[in-house]
Chains A and B, each alone.
Chain A
Amino acid sequence: VTRRPEGSDERAVVVVGGSAAGLSVARTLRAGDSDIEVVIVNGEDEMPWDRPPLSKRVLRDGDQSHRLIDEAKLAALRVTFRSGVMATALRLDEKLIELGDGSMLAYGDLVIATGVRPRSLTLIESDARRGGLHVLRTQHDALLLRGALTAGARLVVVGAGFLGLEVAATARALGCEVTVIEAAPAPLASRLGAFTSQRLLDQHRERGVVVMSSTEIVGLRRDTSEKLTAVELADGSQRPADVLLVAVGCEPNTDWLDGSGVPVGNGVVCDEYCQATPSVWAAGDVAAWLNSDLGAHSRVEHRANASEQGHAVGVNLLARRRGEQGTPYRPIPFFWTDQYDTKVQVAGYPELADHEQLEEFDGGCFILRYLKGPDLVAALAWNAPKEFVSARRELARTFEFQRA
């Protein structure tokens, strides 16, 4: 039995999700309107922590200091922060959110910022014993994995994406033996091109990581005490394994919206303003917005997008309440990955390119420009952060010119 909403304001903005995107929405709303009522519903029990360090500092050092906000900042923000309670359903017509504790929350505008969860594998799902099997999305996940990555432990990473490769690098620093299993022919080649893929691969192989491409895991081996001992590959071979990390991507947390009338496809389907229905918005990993630079819906799982899109939603929501249209969300996507002593930074849309131009600097650093015909569509910096900022400026000018 659900209770009637208590003390909730029908004008309030309710943000479901208290991580990077949700907090960015709240900060933007407060900066733009000192009176607006903002409620954040945060499914986690704790104050939110930042995610990029999870595969790096948290995993390597157990460093738990990477909070996205603290109590004092939250108080200064003047939002109602409801921790440890999940949104379980949405009544779109009544503008009510059902919460896991049986209560309901009314909203004037709803911002969905529920993020994503790690994708699983059928093979993993069917293994009832679970011992030795890991994913990495939360700080809890990172600390569990850290506990398993003792020196000499044999780690198998499934998925040579950014997360998998970062964990491989960190695990080498912790003294583990590391194998990476990738279904595609070359890690990240479809995202960043063959040249960058090879450079990343070389770096891992030089440090003793075994990277196996075009293959997949078909079985798990356990000893008589059910401890994980090896993984079986599609070609019949085996790799020794004490610890298995599944890092094969994520899927959006939209289950609670099923049947609600909010359009859901690969994420919450929004227009170019990040608006899904007249009173529902979405930001961050969960949002599939109409990206007018691509003429298609985009869903971006990078940390920088969470903040930037959260900001855009806050600005557009306030504009709409003033009777204005707002501004289409047209970011120039940006992300980075740190592996060993290499920092790789990428901006733009490398997947649009038809050729690449390399500019090398001393010490093995370089900038790779991705071009489509004569137009710059992306840039990648390999240990060249200052040059990267110039490249981001160059990209911004190019995109502004093309939009004009």
Chain B
Amino acid sequence: MKVVVDDDVCVASGSCVLACPSVFDQDDAGMVVLLVEQPPAETHADVRYAASVCPVAAIDVTEE
């Protein structure tokens, strides 16, 4: 799995941080910070959920 975030459209909802804090964090302005580009298998369900609840679809997940 490969994760890409678009910090240009991020609206700092923090939804991804709540869904999967081991992969997503926020900077001081609340903008998304991707901690791991290729997250481990045990986080995949949470990463997919984070992508699905991002209110601006700023998280792109490619399954490999």
Name B26's contact: one of A53, A68, A334, A389 (CB within 8 Å). Answer: A389
A311 touching B26 by the CB < 8 A rule?
no
A386 at the interface (CB under 8 A from B): yes
Say which one of A24-32, A89-97, A229-237, A276-284 lies at the interface with B. Answer: A24-32
Give the number of chain A interface residues (Cβ < 8 Å).
30
A1-24 near B? 1/0 per residue, CB < 8 Å: 000000000000000000010001
Residues facing B in A80-98 (CB within 8 A) are: none
A129 at the interface (CB under 8 A from B): no
A345 at the interface (CB under 8 A from B): yes
B22 at the interface (CB under 8 A from A): no
B14 touching A303 by the CB < 8 A rule?
no
B20 at the interface (CB under 8 A from A): no
A304 touching B13 by the CB < 8 A rule?
yes
How many angstroms from the CA of A52 to the CA of B56 in the assembled complex?
8
Q: For residue A20, which residues in chain B have a CB less than 8 angstroms away from its CB? A: 57
Name A304's contact: one of B17, B29, B55, B63 (CB within 8 Å). Answer: B55
B55 touching A386 by the CB < 8 A rule?
no
Q: For residue A388, which residues in chain B have a CB less than 8 angstroms away from its CB? A: 12, 14, 30
**A303 and B26 in contact, given A66-B9, A336-B11, A389-B14 (Cβ under 8 angstroms):** no
Distance of A66 from chain B, by nearest CB (Å): 7
Residues facing B in A343-359 (CB within 8 A) are: 343, 345
Distance of B57 from chain A, by nearest CB (Å): 6
A118 at the interface (CB under 8 A from B): no
Q: For residue A146, which residues in chain B have a CB less than 8 angstroms away from its CB? A: none
B3 at the interface (CB under 8 A from A): no
A386 touching B26 by the CB < 8 A rule?
yes
Name A386's contact: one of B18, B30, B53, B63 (CB within 8 Å). Answer: B30
Q: For residue A68, which residues in chain B have a CB less than 8 angstroms away from its CB? A: 57
B54 touching A307 by the CB < 8 A rule?
yes
Distance of A159 from chain B, by nearest CB (Å): 22
A311 touching B53 by the CB < 8 A rule?
yes
Name B52's contact: one of A28, A389, A396 (CB within 8 Å). Answer: A28
A37 at the interface (CB under 8 A from B): no
Q: For residue B63, which residues in chain A have a CB less than 8 angstroms away from its CB? A: 76
Name A343's contact: one of B12, B17, B52, B54 (CB within 8 Å). Answer: B12
Chain B interface (Cβ < 8 Å from any Cβ of A): 9, 11-15, 17-18, 26, 28-30, 48-49, 52-57, 63
Extra contacts besides A76-B63, A385-B26, A393-B18 (13): CB < 8 Å? A52-B11, A304-B53, A304-B55, A311-B53, A334-B55, A336-B13, A343-B11, A345-B12, A385-B12, A385-B13, A385-B29, A386-B26, A388-B12
